[in-house]
């Protein structure tokens, strides 16, 4: 059912808010300078993690990094919105005339905006909807907020059918009466498939109308059309519960229609790497093309398991390709480096430094190398020790930390702020520390967070006040940490009174009987 859209009337009132003077001061001070775009979020609403009407939730981030764009080096970036502020400002740096920006929406959806260099945009919210209003130039609501305009004008289930086909979880909350997950997805996909051709036709028609009436520039039109074409390409690997013939027919028909309308959609160009869906398609399709020739790597432990592709082999394979442009190859290898550096469980220190050196020599791009080193807190060196810092900023090593516990048994909890199973163990851990507070036993919580701010914020948020808190500061360069062989967290270890590692995979705090038996071995009078 289509809904009547009333934001034309609401925007001026919402923009000024209750305090007209205060809002005008914000707009005066936050206007964009050359080579940047300013986004002002008034009373921002979290969309990276979204709770649906039935109480279920879905999302990709809880940390506020919901603004997405591709920078001038073709690198996908996420910027944070501070949801604790009444008004927060996010600044994008770019020398390009037009920049595509996406905002996370309702957990797993995205809204696309195309801004001009120097734009200052105010976002006000109607429920979860971020409604953009340019303040430095005039532009129709339907152009600035094209993604929302589509959803409110043609979507029959809040979302476009192409989005539902790619992510059936968008409608899980509406179909929660179907308990079987496979049957639920099949019902959602079958319904969305019926609207697919109509939605694609109407999206093209809206774009044509905006261009014809001079409400949208040719550049904006081309970028939206290219994004639509890339989304169609992504769907080729989606809707797994639809028959293959029907799936191919559905997507190929849409792709053919777009190709006939604009033959240049078939062309490749480095400028297209600035469009998120196009860039994402290039990366995912490249990795997928090697699925039969590059093996997966697996690890299993008592606490869990996982697998990943051998991105070192993928890097070496791409090195000899001559069908990629220099920019395409650099982007693909940058993404490979991210996969290698982010998975120390599968790629040891020597491998990570070897391929980072290879990337540096291959492309001679200081900006990207420094970006990788900063992003993954890595240096071109290997430390034998495990360097740690205390909550008050004092530096030490794990070896010295254990040695300084005056002959007590030490129970170490390796965790991180982003690790949900780690956080779930914390209530049991608090109970355990209270139970053994009179015993010669020290509880050390050792975070592997790369950012100290995430670590400190999680301690405060989860009220983790018991025990001693430290953070590993050289996780990506420590041979000592690698030698402990911690493929997955949470992980627990016990050092005896002499500082010897006596159990490198100890029971969890919630395993009360097992942990009591284990502690009894080291807390008795017998040495």
Per-residue pLDDT of the chain (527 residues; tens, 9 = 90+): 333 333 323 333 223 333 344 344 445 555 667 899 999 999 999 999 887 666 777 788 888 999 999 999 999 999 999 999 999 999 999 999 999 999 999 888 899 999 999 999 999 999 999 999 999 999 999 999 999 999 988 887 778 888 888 778 778 777 878 878 788 888 888 888 888 899 999 999 999 999 999 999 999 999 999 999 998 888 776 655 566 666 678 888 889 999 999 999 999 899 999 999 999 989 988 988 998 899 998 877 665 668 899 999 999 999 999 999 999 999 999 999 999 998 888 898 888 999 999 999 999 999 999 999 988 888 887 778 889 999 888 999 999 999 999 889 999 999 999 888 899 999 999 999 999 988 999 999 999 888 888 899 899 888 888 899 999 988 878 888 888 888 788 999 999 999 999 998 999 999 999 999 999 988 875 44
DSSP 456-493: HHHHHHTT--SSEEEEES-TTTBHHHHHT---SSSEEE
Q: What is the pLDDT of residue 344?
A: 84
Q: What is the pLDDT of residue 252?
A: 87
Strand partners, 131: 124
- Residues 252, 253, 254, 255: is their CA dihedral positive or negative? positive
**Preceding amide of 440 cis, omega within 30:** no
- Residues 389, 390, 391, 394: is their CA dihedral positive or negative? negative
> Closest by alpha carbon to 493, among 431, 417, 410?
410
- Is the CB of residue 327 less than 8 Å from the CB of residue 74? yes
Q: What is the pLDDT of residue 4?
A: 33
Measured distance CA(331)–CA(322) in Å, rounded: 15
Measured distance CA(455)–CA(509) in Å, rounded: 20
- Residues 402, 406, 411, 415: is their CA dihedral positive or negative? negative
pTM of the model: 0.75
Measured distance CA(368)–CA(297) in Å, rounded: 27
> Closest by alpha carbon to 351, among 392, 303, 315, 403?
315
- Residue whose entry in the numeric block shows the structure tokens 């509880």: 443
> Closest by alpha carbon to 356, among 477, 478, 274?
477
Q: What is the pLDDT of residue 11?
A: 31
Q: What is the pLDDT of residue 30?
A: 59
Helix and strand tally (H, E) in the chain? 18, 19
Query: In b/e form, how buried is each residue of 5-44, taking b as 16+ CB within 10 angstroms?
Result: eebeeebeebbeeeeeeebeebeeebebeeebbbbbbbeb
Q: What is the pLDDT of residue 141?
A: 96
Q: What is the pLDDT of residue 476?
A: 79
Q: What is the pLDDT of residue 240?
A: 58
Q: What is the pLDDT of residue 83?
A: 94
> Closest by alpha carbon to 64, among 432, 457, 409?
457
Measured distance CA(201)–CA(231) in Å, rounded: 14
**Length of the chain in terms of residues written:** 527
Q: What is the pLDDT of residue 246?
A: 67
Measured distance CA(1)–CA(386) in Å, rounded: 60
- Is the CB of residue 6 less than 8 Å from the CB of residue 114? no
Measured distance CA(162)–CA(63) in Å, rounded: 28
Q: What is the pLDDT of residue 82?
A: 95
Distances (CA, A) of 437 to 271, 391, 467: 62, 21, 10
Q: What is the pLDDT of residue 49?
A: 87
């Amino acid at each position: 059912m289509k809904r009547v859209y009333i934001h034309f009337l609401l925007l001026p009132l919402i923009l000024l808010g209750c305090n007209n003077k205060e809002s005008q001061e914000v707009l005066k001070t936050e206007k964009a300078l050359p080579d940047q775009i300013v986004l002002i979020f008034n009373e921002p609403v979290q969309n990276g993690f979204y709770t649906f009407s039935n109480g279920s939730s879905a999302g990709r981030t809880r940390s506020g990094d919901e603004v997405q764009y591709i920078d001038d080096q073709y690198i996908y970036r996420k910027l944070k919105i501070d949801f604790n502020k009444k008004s927060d400002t996010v600044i994008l740096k770019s020398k390009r005339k037009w920049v595509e920006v996406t905002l996370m929406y309702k957990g797993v959806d995205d809204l696309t905006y195309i801004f001009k260099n120097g734009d200052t945009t105010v976002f006000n919210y109607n429920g979860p909807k971020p409604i953009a209003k340019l303040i430095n130039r005039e532009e129709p609501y339907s152009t600035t907020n094209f993604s929302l305009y589509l959803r409110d004008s043609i979507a029959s289930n809040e979302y476009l059918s192409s989005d539902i086909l790619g992510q059936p979880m968008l409608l899980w909350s509406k179909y929660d009466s179907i308990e079987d997950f496979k049957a639920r997805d099949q019902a959602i996909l079958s319904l969305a498939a019926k609207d697919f051709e109509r939605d694609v036709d109407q999206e093209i028609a809206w774009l044509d109308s905006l261009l014809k009436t001079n409400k949208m520039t040719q550049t904006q039109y081309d970028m939206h059309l290219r994004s639509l074409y890339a989304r169609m390409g992504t769907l080729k690997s989606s809707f797994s519960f639809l028959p293959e013939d029907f799936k191919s027919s559905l997507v190929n028909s849409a792709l053919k229609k777009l190709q006939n309308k604009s033959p240049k959609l078939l062309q490749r160009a480095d400028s297209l790497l600035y469009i998120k869906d196009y860039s994402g398609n290039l990366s995912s399709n490249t990795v997928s093309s090697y699925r039969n020739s590059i093996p997966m790597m697996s690890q299993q432990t008592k606490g869990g398991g996982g697998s990943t592709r051998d991105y070192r082999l993928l890097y070496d394979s791409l090195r000899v390709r001559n069908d990629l442009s220099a920019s395409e190859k650099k982007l693909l290898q940058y993404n490979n480096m991210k996969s290698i550096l982010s998975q120390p469980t599968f790629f040891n220190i020597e491998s990570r430094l070897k391929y980072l050196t290879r990337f540096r020599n291959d492309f001679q791009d200081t900006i990207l190398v420094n970006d990788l080193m900063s992003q993954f807190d890595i240096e071109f060196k290997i430390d034998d020790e495990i360097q740690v810092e205390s909550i008050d900023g004092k530096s030490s090593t794990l070896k010295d930390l254990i040695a300084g516990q005056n002959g007590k048994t030490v129970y170490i909890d390796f965790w991180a702020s982003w690790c949900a199973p780690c956080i779930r163990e914390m209530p049991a851990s608090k109970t355990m520390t209270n139970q053994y507070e009179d015993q010669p036993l020290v509880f050390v919580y050792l975070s592997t967070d790369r950012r100290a701010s995430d670590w400190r914020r999680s301690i405060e948020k989860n009220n983790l006040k018991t025990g001693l808190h430290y953070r590993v500061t050289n996780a990506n360069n420590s041979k000592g940490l690698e030698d402990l062989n911690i493929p997955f967290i949470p992980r627990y270890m016990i050092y005896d009174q002499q500082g010897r590692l006596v159990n490198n995979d100890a029971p969890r705090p919630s395993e009360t009987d097992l942990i009591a038996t284990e502690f009894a071995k080291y807390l008795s009078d017998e040495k």
